[in-house]
Amino acid sequence: MSNGLRHAIGAVVGLAVTPLVVLAMGWGGTRLEIALARFDMSVGTVLPGLAVVLVLGIVLGLVSGSRVSPLASLIPGAVLSLWGVLGSLEPTAGLSMAVVPLEYFAPHVSSYVLVGGLLLAASLPPSRWRAGARRTEAAPAGRPHGVPDHPPAPVRGPVDHGGGRYAPGTGPQPAQPHGVPGRPAAPPPQYRGGPRPGEQQPYGGPAQPAQAPYAGPPRRPDEQVPHLYGTGPIPRVPPAEPGAAPPPGQESHLYGTGTGPMPRITDEPGRPGGAHRGEGDPGPDPRPRE
């Protein structure tokens, strides 16, 4: 609705409300005064006057609202104020009584001035003279309608930039190892001068030392036997005394016990492999057999 059409409708409403206010105040107010003068407070005497005055108050509240053109309250407010002032002065009192019956006009001269002043005050706010109370402001030049003024809040989760690449410090975190049931998992190792877990490594800062590969659980003391490679140093066994028998389990003919020299193996017939030779045994005959 255009602003001109809105004010035109308000002017028509104001012209219709003006005589309605005069008649409602005159008739309803007179009925209430008569009931009070006769001390007759019956429902049939008081209720009609109260109903008319109540309807008049609702109509005046509607024409004073911010959605209606101010002309709807300006016209009746100006007429009632002027009518009450002219009816109170002696030169113009007769003219006012000639237009409105005396029983409707005379008791309510001051009420006309009061109601007219309220309607004039309701017509003064500039917001009532504009095109509408609810207006959608036009978007600024260079920005399409509906685009927010402020940028959206940054995303806190990991954001894929294409090809499975994530911004530094925002990628998915590796799965944490499960600890002992009933206990929380152990925190990752800390390095002096390095960032805390979850913090981003500063650009140009020293890199964290690489962790050693997993070598399995530590061995128990009873598993660190000397004959297994890589589990501990081989102990030095003192030479056995001549004629002394070796202790049980440390026979020199057993390979890998570390208790004596490795025996020489022979292929001579009649002599089992792995048998011991004496110190003067020359070994097998290197000459070919016939």
Q: What is the DSSP letter of 175?
A: P
Please classify residue 10 by burial: count the beta carbons closer than 10 Å to its beta carbon, then call 0-12 exposed, 13-18 middle and 19+ buried. buried
pLDDT of residue 12: 92
Q: Looking at the predicted structure, is the pLDDT value of residue 241 above 80? A: no
Residue 192's closest CA among 211, 206, 173, 212?
A: 206
Q: Looking at the predicted structure, is the pLDDT value of residue 254 above 70? A: no
Q: What is the DSSP letter of 166?
A: B
- Domain boundaries defined on the chain: 3-125
Angstrom distance (rounded) from CA 106 to CA 57 = 21
| End-to-end CA gap in the chain | 134
CA distances from 95 to 22, 86, 101, 105 (A): 15, 8, 11, 11
Q: How many residues would you count in the chain?
A: 290
In tens, the pLDDT along 64-95 reads 887 888 899 999 999 888 888 887 777 766 66
pLDDT of residue 266: 57
Tokens linked to 190: 């800390």
The model's confidence at residue 120, banded by pLDDT at 50, 70 and 90, is very high
Tokens linked to 106: 């005379």
Helix (H, G, I), strand (E, B) or coil at 237: coil
Buried/exposed 126-163: b ≥16 CB within 10 Å, e otherwise: eebeeeeeeeeeeeeeeeeeeeeeeeeeeeeeeeeeee
The model's confidence at residue 195, banded by pLDDT at 50, 70 and 90, is low
pLDDT of residue 43: 78
Report the DSSP beta bridge partners of residue 160: 166
Q: What is the largest CA-CA distance in the chain?
A: 174
Residues 6+ away with beta carbon under 8 Å from 221? none
Q: Looking at the predicted structure, is the pLDDT value of residue 111 above 50? A: yes
**Predicted structure pTM score:** 0.42
In the chain, the DSSP E strands lie at none
Tokens linked to 135: 């207006």
CA distances from 253 to 242, 257, 260, 275, 276 (A): 17, 9, 8, 8, 8
Helix (H, G, I), strand (E, B) or coil at 179: coil
Tokens linked to 174: 């590796």
Q: CA angle, 167 as apex, 163 and 172 as ends, to 5°? A: 80
